[in-house]
Structures are given as structure tokens and as C-alpha cells.
């Protein structure tokens, strides 16, 4: 999940239609079978093991993602799903992977450091050993003092996030009080307040300065760049250091490193003590296929009239590269795959077709789900829709880490709230109770919601998602919580099956207006 895009929006229950108040009978016998299969015979951790430890990092466009796409397609087929395919969603750009990475402090003493090449940055020219120069600049004029002083040097960016000891736990679950507060209707809101002119100007200035610095370092002949965004206790948050576009401008090799290592070097340099670093990165660009892909598979519907309709579920399969993308988002993919495995293992007969989608390119801007939506459903800008648009009953998404499901966001669709409350009742003992009319952003359900198709993200305990695992070098299999993922799998399987077998498709919000003529 790209948390840079994540936010909560408020929409209110104003007048709930009478039909929305009617509870529907729940197939309790099937729900109990799903619980038994999912809690006693779960394969969710085995799925997660293959996604993470076996297939490795799954950066968009990388060989690791290609391996995972093929593995998931084959696994879904082995369970009996039909029409499994690795489907292109559109043009992505260059792929990239790390083949070698080494980073160490060598002066005033030797010590290995924690870091990784930033995505889409080039290799060093073999092993590079050089003096570190700390660059402090808040405006372009500040760069003049470094002219002629950076050739062959390793440039270190100024530390902007001081390390602070936290006395709060890094992992937490939602309390009953927090869930109750979340369930309270909120007032209508247009969403995140727009930036003021001053804020927008400051943002543009920062971006312009960053571009200018990158260009200057390259022109001056610096050897490499060291930087860090945030993190603590050896955890660093990773990102891209260059564009993945086919015609991206050249940049220097760059390492993202633990903030403690950056801070130590900064203190030494500020005290006038010379610092030297030895490093090597060997990275490879993948340019033979610029397409991005999603993995799609189906459990065909059995009802003569309803089998052409769709219930969809999914999560994004791509990840960042500094770890193996366990909580973001092998967890969500494993849960969604386990959900369809449960349905197939029980030989349930859904009336509507159930389609699972594992999205690519989410981390760079929801590319996979948005590309799929435009190809299959319609254009969110013009609201020109395709025939399949009216066939989709709902899309369910999971992408908030490894925590158990505690509820669901309705995205302001008040008519589905009574249904979801009823569907959660068999899982109250597992901690899932909350239905909120709030919106949540940042991941692939937005591609459906933008078209007015019911698209939902579940509420999950975030555990240590924001503090330790999300986009970090610590996002590994070890951070996954087996019992939480089992719980999530049975709830998703139940929700998908109930949606597939009810008489009508889920109610929709009013169709959005075109965003452009």
C-alpha cells in the first residue's frame, strides 16, 4: 500500500433508504464450513512463504515480480480456478533489480552499515572508496559552496529526521473504544484539505531543489549519494531514486541507509573528523518488456442467469525491494488466494463468477488496478463505461499489513452497511465487528470506487505496519501473524461467497460525474 496516498475521508449517513434496513438471511451452515476449513486446514502461511522467501522482492517490472506472477497463476490453476492468465494492464517502463550491494564505513574505523541501493539507480563503477561530503542546502544558492569540491566524493544528504526514542509500542491493535469511534457516522467532507498557495509553493521549491542537487552532483562528478528518509533501530524506509520511465534522465548510484548510520557520519563530519566509505552496487535494468501485468483467475458461476455477473477480490502483488514485501502486500495476496482456495476446497457453488485479481504497479500509483478498470470497466475521467461495468457486484481488497480484520470501510455506501453488519456477526468472536461509513484511500479499491462500482477495503489491526514494516528493509516473512491471516481469510471467503449468492448485486452509490468533457 502506498501510504503517501492514504487518508480518511468523511461521508455521513444522511437518510438510509428503507430497503437498506432489511437484513438478509445468512447461510450459517456454509459460513461454519468456511471457518472450519480456513482455521484448521489453512495454507495461507505456505502461500506467503512462496511469495516472499521463495520468489523474493517483487518490485514492479522486476524478474522477482515475474516469478511471483507465474507462481500465483500456476497455484490458482492447480486449485481448479479457470481462465488463469497473466494479463497486461498497459505500459509500465523499465524493470530493475539488485545483483550486488555492499556498504561500509572505513574511516575513522571499519564497520558495516545498513543500506540498499535506491530503486532504478545505476551501478557503481565497481567498488568505490571515497571521502564523504555532507551537503547542507535549503535553497539553490546554498549549492554554490560545493562547486568543484565533489569530484570522486561520496555525497551525503543532510539528516532532516532526528532519531528520537519512542515510549509507545511499535505494534498495536485497535481497542474497542477506537473501533467504536471509527463506527460513528462522520460529517460530509470533500476529503483532504487542499494545499494553500504557500504550501504548494514550498512543495514545488523542495522538488526543484532536489532536481537541481541531483543534476549538480552528476555534473560535478560525485561517485555516489547516501540518503535516508526515516526509520529507527536499523529499519529504513525505501523508495526509488530515479524514474522507471524508458527515457528517464541519468542519475548517480544512490544508497538509502539506516538513519543511525547517517546520523553518526553527520556528527563526525560536523566535528571536523574525516569520514570515508566503501561501497558497491551492481544493479540491472530490465528493458525487454515495458508492459505491466496483473494475475487474473476465476471460479465460474453456476446460476444460468447470474453467472455472467462478477464478484471480485484482490490485492497488489508488487512490493518494494529492500526486503521481501511480506506485510505489503504478500499478506493481502496470500489471504485473497486462501479465500478462493477455501471456496474451491469446500466445492461451494457460487451463483455469480468469482474473479481474483493480483495487481501489479500499485506502489507506483495503482497502475495495475486502474489499467484493468480502464480496459474492462470504463474510464473514470469521462465515465464512458464498458459492458462489464454493469456486471460487477463488488470488489473486496486487502492491503493494510498482516493484522486481523476488524471491520470494513463502506466508502460512504450506506446501503451496504446493514448487509455487512449481518455478515460480520459470525465473526464477532474473532474480533471483526466494525462497519464504518468512512472512506479510506491509498490502494486498489479506489480504481473501482472511482467508477461508482462498490469497492471496499477491510479495516485491519495495523500492528507494526507504519513503524517497522511498511516499505522497509524489515518487511519479511517473520513479521507475518499466522492466526491473523487465517482469520482474515475466512472472513474474506465468507463475504465473497455471500456477495456471489445473494439475489441482487450489492447496491451502488450514485454514478460519479465525468471529470472532464
- Taking the C-alpha atoms of residue 508 and residue 387, their distance in angstroms, rounded to an integer, is 17
Give residues with Cβ within 8 angstroms of 36, minimum separation 6: none
Q: Among 230, 261, 284, which residue terminates a domain?
A: 284
As for how many domains the chain has, the answer is: 2
Q: Report the CATH number that the domain containing residue 160 is assigned in CATH.
A: 3.50.30.30
pLDDT the model gives residue 199: 87
Does residue 255 share a domain with residue 106?
A: yes
Does residue 17 share a domain with residue 76?
A: yes
Does residue 306 share a domain with residue 271?
A: no
Which residues constitute the domain of residue 133?
101-284
417-450 burial, b if ≥16 CB within 10 A, otherwise e?
A: bbbbbbbbebbeebbbbbbbbbbbbbbbbbbbbb
Q: Which of 15-19, 164-168, 297-301 bottoms out in mean pLDDT, i.e. has the lowest?
A: 15-19
Does residue 422 share a domain with residue 340?
A: yes
Mean pLDDT across the chain, nearest whole number? 93
Does residue 219 share a domain with residue 178?
A: yes
Residue 513: inside a domain, yes or no? no
The pTM score is 0.94
Confidence check: pLDDT of 202 > 60: yes
Contacts by residues 133-142 (CB-CB < 8 Å, ≥ 24 positions apart): 133/222, 134/158, 134/265, 134/266, 134/269, 134/270, 135/213, 137/209, 137/213, 138/209, 139/205, 139/209, 140/208, 140/209, 140/212
Residue 514: inside a domain, yes or no? no
Place of cell 511498511: 470
User: What band does 4 get if pLDDT is binned at 50, 70 and 90?
Assistant: very low
- Taking the C-alpha atoms of residue 473 and residue 495, their distance in angstroms, rounded to an integer, is 33
Residue 511: inside a domain, yes or no? no
Beta bridge partners of 86: 295
Does residue 29 share a domain with residue 128?
A: no
- Taking the C-alpha atoms of residue 281 and residue 358, their distance in angstroms, rounded to an integer, is 31
Does residue 334 share a domain with residue 414?
A: yes
- Taking the C-alpha atoms of residue 7 and residue 9, their distance in angstroms, rounded to an integer, is 7
Question: 60-91: per-residue pLDDT in tens?
Answer: 999 999 999 999 999 999 999 999 999 999 99
> What letter does residue 427 receive in the DSSP assignment?
G
- Helix 28-40, helix 331-345: angle, nearest 10: 120
User: What band does 10 get if pLDDT is binned at 50, 70 and 90?
Assistant: very low
Average pLDDT over residues 93-101: 98
Alpha helices in 140-184 (DSSP H): 176-183
In contact, 53 and 477? CB cutoff 8 Å: yes
Residue 380: inside a domain, yes or no? yes
pLDDT cut 90: percent of the chain above it: 86
Residue 343: inside a domain, yes or no? yes
Beta bridge partners of 240: 119
pLDDT cut 70: percent of the chain above it: 94
In contact, 496 and 436? CB cutoff 8 Å: no
Residue 266: inside a domain, yes or no? yes
Does residue 107 share a domain with residue 16?
A: no
pLDDT the model gives residue 185: 84
Residue 509: inside a domain, yes or no? no
Does residue 373 share a domain with residue 267?
A: no
Q: Among 284, 308, 325, which residue terminates a domain?
A: 284
Residue 212: inside a domain, yes or no? yes
Does residue 390 share a domain with residue 263?
A: no
CB atoms inside a 10 Å sphere around CB 205? 13
Question: 164-194: per-residue pLDDT in tens?
Answer: 888 989 999 999 999 999 999 876 554 456 7
Alpha carbons within 13 angstroms on the beta-carbon side of residue 343 total 33
Q: Report the CATH number that the domain containing residue 295 is assigned in CATH.
A: 3.40.630.10
Does residue 466 share a domain with residue 452?
A: yes
In contact, 383 and 513? CB cutoff 8 Å: yes
Does residue 122 share a domain with residue 227?
A: yes
Cell numbers standing for residue 357: 485479481
Give residues with Cβ within 8 angstroms of 330, minimum separation 6: 48, 51, 52, 317, 319, 324, 477, 480
Confidence check: pLDDT of 450 > 60: yes
Question: 128-153: per-residue pLDDT in tens?
Answer: 999 999 999 999 999 999 999 999 99
Q: Among 259, 284, 309, which residue terminates a domain?
A: 284
Amino acid at each position: 500500500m502506498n501510504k503517501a496516498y492514504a487518508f480518511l475521508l468523511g461521508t455521513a449517513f444522511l437518510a438510509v433508504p428503507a430497503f437498506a434496513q432489511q437484513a438478509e438471511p445468512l447461510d450459517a451452515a456454509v459460513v461454519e464450513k468456511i471457518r472450519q476449513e480456513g482455521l484448521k486446514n489453512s495454507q495461507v502461511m505456505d502461500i506467503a512463504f512462496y511469495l516472499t522467501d521463495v520468489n523474493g522482492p517483487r518490485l514492479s517490472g522486476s524478474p522477482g515480480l515475474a516469478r511471483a506472477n507465474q507462481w500465483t497463476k500456476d497455484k490458482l490453476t492447480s486449485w481448479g480456478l479457470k481462465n488463469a492468465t497473466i494479463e497486461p494492464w498497459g505500459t509500465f517502463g523499465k524493470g530493475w533489480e539488485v545483483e550486488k550491494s555492499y556498504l561500509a564505513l572505513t574511516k575513522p574505523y571499519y564497520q558495516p552499515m545498513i543500506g540498499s541501493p535506491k530503486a532504478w539507480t545505476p551501478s557503481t563503477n565497481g567498488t568505490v572508496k571515497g571521502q564523504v561530503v555532507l551537503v547542507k542546502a535549503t535553497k539553490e544558492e546554498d549549492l554554490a559552496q560545493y562547486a568543484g569540491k565533489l569530484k570522486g566524493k561520496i555525497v551525503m544528504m543532510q539528516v532532516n529526521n532526528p532519531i528520537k526514542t519512542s515510549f509507545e509500542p511499535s505494534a498495536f491493535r485497535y481497542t474497542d473504544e477506537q473501533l467504536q469511534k471509527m463506527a460513528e457516522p462522520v460529517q460530509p467532507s470533500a476529503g483532504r484539505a487542499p494545499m494553500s498557495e504557500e504550501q504548494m509553493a514550498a512543495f514545488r521549491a523542495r522538488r526543484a531543489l532536489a532536481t537541481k542537487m541531483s543534476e549538480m552532483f552528476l555534473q560535478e562528478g560525485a561517485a555516489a549519494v547516501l540518503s535516508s528518509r526515516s526509520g529507527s533501530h536499523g529499519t529504513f524506509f525505501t523508495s526509488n531514486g530515479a524514474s522507471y520511465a524508458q527515457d528517464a534522465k541519468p542519475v548517480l548510484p544512490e544508497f538509502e541507509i539506516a538513519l543511525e548510520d547517517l546520523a553518526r557520519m553527520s556528527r563526525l563530519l560536523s566535528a571536523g573528523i574525516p569520514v570515508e566509505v566503501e561501497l558497491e552496487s551492481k544493479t540491472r535494468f530490465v528493458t525487454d518488456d515495458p508492459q505491466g501485468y496483473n494475475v487474473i483467475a476465476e471460479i465460474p458461476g453456476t446460476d444460468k442467469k447470474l453467472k455472467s455477473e462478477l464478484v471480485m477480490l484482490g490485492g497488489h502483488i508488487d512490493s518494494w525491494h529492500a526486503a521481501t514485501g511480506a506485510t505489503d502486500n504478500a499478506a493481502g495476496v496470500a489471504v485473497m488466494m486462501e479465500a478462493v482456495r477455501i471456496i474451491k476446497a469446500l466445492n461451494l457453488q457460487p451463483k455469480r463468477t468469482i474473479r481474483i485479481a493480483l495487481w501489479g504497479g500499485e506502489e507506483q500509483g495503482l497502475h495495475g488496478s486502474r489499467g484493468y478498470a480502464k480496459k474492462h470497466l470504463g474510464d473514470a475521467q469521462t465515465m464512458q463505461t464498458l459492458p462489464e461495468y454493469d456486471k460487477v457486484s463488488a470488489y473486496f481488497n486487502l492491503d493494510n499489513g498482516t493484522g486481523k480484520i476488524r471491520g470494513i470501510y463502506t466508502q460512504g455506501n450506506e446501503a451496504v452497511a446493514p448487509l455487512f453488519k449481518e455478515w460480520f456477526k459470525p465473526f464477532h468472536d474473532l474480533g471483526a465487528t466494525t462497519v464504518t461509513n468512512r472512506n479510506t484511500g491509498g490502494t486498489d479499491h479506489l480504481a473501482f470506487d472511482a467508477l461508482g462500482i462498490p469497492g471496499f477495503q477491510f479495516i485491519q489491526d495495523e500492528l507494526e505496519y507504519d513503524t517497522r514494516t511498511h516499505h522497509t528493509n524489515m518487511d519479511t516473512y517473520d513479521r507475518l501473524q499466522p492466526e491473523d491471516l487465517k482469520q482474515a481469510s475466512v472472513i474474506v471467503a465468507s463475504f465473497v461467497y455471500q456477495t456471489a449468492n445473494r439475489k441482487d448485486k450489492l447496491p451502488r452509490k450514485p454514478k460519479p460525474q465525468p471529470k472532464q468533457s
